[in-house]
Structure formats: structure tokens, C-alpha cells
């Protein structure tokens, strides 16, 4: 009789269990997944100024303190150390040395050809880039032409078309990326990326820009677009800020505005540039509300990787769900150099990248030789 009762009890339990909605368990599973911790590495190059090769065209000799072919090795290394990573460039990458000048003034970029800088960016698979003030030095027609060869989003939110009274470039983008948490669970992260540059371009490049575009203040533009970006579903927001760091009182014409962009609540990360400085670094040890050890300004992670490919900027973020939303709960910013203080190389050349850009480099060297330089 006891066996019959036990069998009946098991039968009833089985029937009840089968009626529990499977969605109940799926809901629990999602909740567990969303409580995972994500480590996300952000990588930055900035102010390359066409320094693709570790070569000084003025001195006609190798220079291992510069060159994206060297920085690329740091990029590969940094990526290999992280499960989740993103790579960005912060602008001023087309002009700044004889290679950049030769490609515009002498050889030109034929229709359908990709500018060597953007060929390099495509090879390294940048996630997004912004443009700096020097991208305008060759005129809008040239810039628009070479940007056709870019395989990643190009963002800027404070340069406006005069004719259409709207952003001349795509002001921001939301990158949808599959990331893995520390438990090995996958999540889709919506990463907002927005770009800015100094409004002084209207003076610096007046001949190229007047009547075609206008530039608005960076902080005001950020306050306009960043909430929109957040409302459209960005989990975190990264500012590609082609602007330096200065604590002088803010005004609409402020050239170095990182200090004040850091005050905007929705911006989570700032990649800085323009001033060719290194942050975190001793230059900014007296900067108010800056944490040089952690690489933060007013609590926000910031990095600036010098210039000419001399360094790679790195920000390591830790993300966690709080109140149903992904939040940056910890971060560390730092840079890595391609050479030591005496100029000795710390990394090898990326041979595949060098092969891609060697023709343009060699043409430039040969041209300079013909000029007797």
C-alpha cells in the first residue's frame, strides 16, 4: 500500500512540474546572465599625422619612436590580453609629414583607391574613428573623397553643414557588440560613440570651410546629442574627443575641453587628443580633480596617447548591471610606449601592415631623393 501511495505522489508531482511555464526558467536565466561582470578594454590611437612608418622623412632615417607599424604590435598585444576590446582613432591622422603631403600634392588619391592611412585602419579593424582639425587642411572635397575608403563609422557631432543646418558628419553611432562576461556568458552591449573637435577650425581653415560648414562649441554639442544617444539605447557612451585637457574656465570657444566634457553624466569614457600630451602622466599631476594613478578626471576614465603613433592608449573598464542597466563600476587608464626613453624599440614592426603601406612610403622616399632632400 505504501508503494502505491509513493507512486501516486510521484505521478502527481510530475504532472504539476510539467505545467510550470518554461518562460519562468528563461526569465531566471536572463536575470543571472545580466548580473555578470564584463571586462571591456578600450584602445586609442591619436594624432598620427600620417606617421605610418617608423621613419623620419626629414632626417631620412629610421625612427623607432614613431609609426603605426609599431603601434600595431601594441594593438595586437593588448587585444590578446582581453576577451572584449574596441579600437578607436581620435583624429589628425591624414596630415603632418612628407608622406601625407606627397599623397595629396604630388601623387593624389585616384578614384577607387584607399588612402594608406585608411588602408591601415581597415587592416587593423578599428571600430570607429573621429576626425581632427587637420583633416580639413586639404579641403572638404579631398576629405569626403578619401573617407569613402573607410570601413568603419566616422563620427563628429559639432561640425554642421551651413546649407542643411545639420551635422556634416554622422554625429554618433551605436555599436552593437557581443561581449563575454567573467562566467563565460554572452551579452549584447550597445556602445555609443560620439565625436568632437575644437570650434577653432573656422579660423584655422577659414579658406577651406567658410560658407560650407560651421563649428559649434563642444560641450554644448555634447549636452545636445549625448542624452539622445542614451535615449536610443546606448548602454555606455564613449567620447572620441579631439581636444586636450585644461582646467581653465570654460567658454564656448574653449579649445581643450576634456575637463568639462567629463562633467556630462552620460559620458562614460573620454578618449582625448589634439595637444599631443600623455594622460595619465606627470604633465597633469597638478590638474585639479585628476587621479593620475587610475587615469581619471572628475571620476571619469580618460586617456591621451601622445602623437605620431608613439603610444597606445588603453582603458580597462569593468561593467556590471545595477538597477537594470549596465554601469561602469571600475576603470583604469594608462598608455604603452613603442620605444624606451632613449629611443630603443620595445616592439617589433607589424610586417603585414608595413607591406600594405610600403608602396606609398617608398614613393615618398624616392620623391624626396629626387628633390635632393
Is residue 180 in a domain? Answer: yes
| Owning domain of residue 266 | 36-370
Is residue 269 in a domain? Answer: yes
Is residue 17 in a domain? Answer: no
| Residue 157: predicted pLDDT | 98
Is residue 21 in a domain? Answer: no
Per residue in 124-182, pLDDT (tens digit) is 999 999 999 999 999 999 999 999 999 999 999 999 999 999 999 999 999 999 999 99
Is residue 178 in a domain? Answer: yes
Domain of 281, CATH number, reads 3.60.21.10
Per residue in 188-237, pLDDT (tens digit) is 999 999 999 999 999 999 999 999 999 999 999 999 999 999 999 999 99
Three-class SS of the chain: CHHHHHHHHHHHHHHHHHCCCHHHHHHHHHHHHHCCEEEEEEEEECCCCCCCCCEECCCCEECCCCCHHHHHHHHHHHHHCCCCEEEEECCCCCCCCHHHHHHHHHCCCCCCCCCHHHHHHHHHCCCEEECCHHHHCCCHHHHHHHHCCCCCCEECCCEEECCCCCECCECEEEEEEEEECCCCCEEEEEEEEEEECCCCHHHHCHHHHCCCEEECCHHHHHHHHHHHHHHCCCCEEEEEECCCCCCCCCCCCCCCCHHHHCCCCCCCEEEECCCCCEECCHHHCCCCCEECCCCEECCEEEEEECCCCCEEEEEEEEEEEECCEEEEEEEEEEEEECECCCCCECCCCCHHHHHHHHHHHHHHHHHHHHCCC
Per residue in 302-361, pLDDT (tens digit) is 999 999 999 999 999 999 999 889 999 999 999 999 999 999 999 999 999 999 999 999
| Residue 214: predicted pLDDT | 98
Overall number of domains in the chain = 1
| Residue 34: predicted pLDDT | 54
* pLDDT at residue 277 greater than cutoff 70: yes
Amino acid at each position: 500500500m505504501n508503494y502505491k501511495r509513493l507512486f501516486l505522489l510521484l505521478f502527481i508531482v510530475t504532472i504539476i512540474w510539467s505545467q510550470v511555464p518554461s518562460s519562468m526558467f528563461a526569465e531566471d536565466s536572463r536575470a543571472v546572465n545580466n548580473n555578470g561582470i564584463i571586462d571591456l578594454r578600450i584602445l586609442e590611437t591619436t594624432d598620427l599625422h600620417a606617421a605610418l612608418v617608423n621613419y623620419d622623412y626629414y632626417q631620412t632615417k629610421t625612427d623607432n619612436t614613431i609609426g603605426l607599424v609599431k603601434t600595431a604590435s601594441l594593438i595586437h598585444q593588448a587585444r590578446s590580453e582581453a576577451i572584449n576590446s574596441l579600437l578607436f582613432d581620435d583624429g589628425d591622422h591624414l596630415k603632418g609629414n612628407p608622406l601625407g603631403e606627397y599623397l595629396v600634392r604630388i601623387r593624389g588619391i585616384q578614384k577607387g583607391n584607399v588612402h594608406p592611412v585608411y588602408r591601415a585602419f581597415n587592416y587593423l579593424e578599428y571600430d570607429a574613428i573621429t576626425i581632427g582639425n587637420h583633416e580639413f587642411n586639404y579641403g572638404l572635397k579631398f576629405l569626403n573623397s578619401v573617407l569613402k575608403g573607410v570601413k568603419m563609422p566616422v563620427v563628429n557631432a559639432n561640425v554642421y553643414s551651413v546649407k542643411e543646418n545639420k551635422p556634416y558628419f554622422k554625429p554618433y553611432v551605436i555599436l552593437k557588440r557581443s561581449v563575454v562576461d567573467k562566467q563565460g556568458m554572452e551579452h549584447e552591449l550597445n556602445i555609443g560613440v560620439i565625436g568632437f573637435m575644437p570650434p577653432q577650425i573656422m579660423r584655422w581653415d577659414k579658406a577651406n570651410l567658410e560658407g560650407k560648414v560651421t563649428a559649434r562649441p563642444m560641450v554644448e554639442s555634447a549636452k545636445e546629442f549625448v542624452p539622445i544617444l542614451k535615449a536610443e539605447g546606448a548602454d555606455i557612451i564613449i567620447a572620441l574627443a579631439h581636444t586636450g585637457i585644461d582646467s581653465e574656465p570654460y567658454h564656448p570657444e574653449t579649445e581643450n575641453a576634456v575637463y568639462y566634457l567629463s562633467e556630462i553624466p552620460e559620458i562614460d569614457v573620454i578618449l582625448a587628443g589634439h595637444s599631443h600630451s600623455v594622460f595619465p602622466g606627470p604633465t597633469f599631476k597638478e590638474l585639479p580633480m585628476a587621479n593620475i594613478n587610475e587615469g581619471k578626471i572628475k571620476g571619469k576614465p580618460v586617456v591621451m596617447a601622445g602623437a605620431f603613433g608613439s603610444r597606445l592608449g588603453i582603458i580597462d573598464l569593468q561593467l556590471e548591471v545595477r538597477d537594470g542597466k549596465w554601469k561602469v563600476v571600475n576603470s583604469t587608464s594608462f598608455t604603452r610606449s613603442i620605444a624606451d626613453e632613449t629611443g630603443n624599440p620595445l616592439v617589433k614592426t607589424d610586417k603585414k601592415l608595413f607591406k600594405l603601406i610600403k608602396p606609398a612610403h617608398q614613393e615618398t622616399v624616392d620623391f624626396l631623393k629626387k628633390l635632393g632632400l
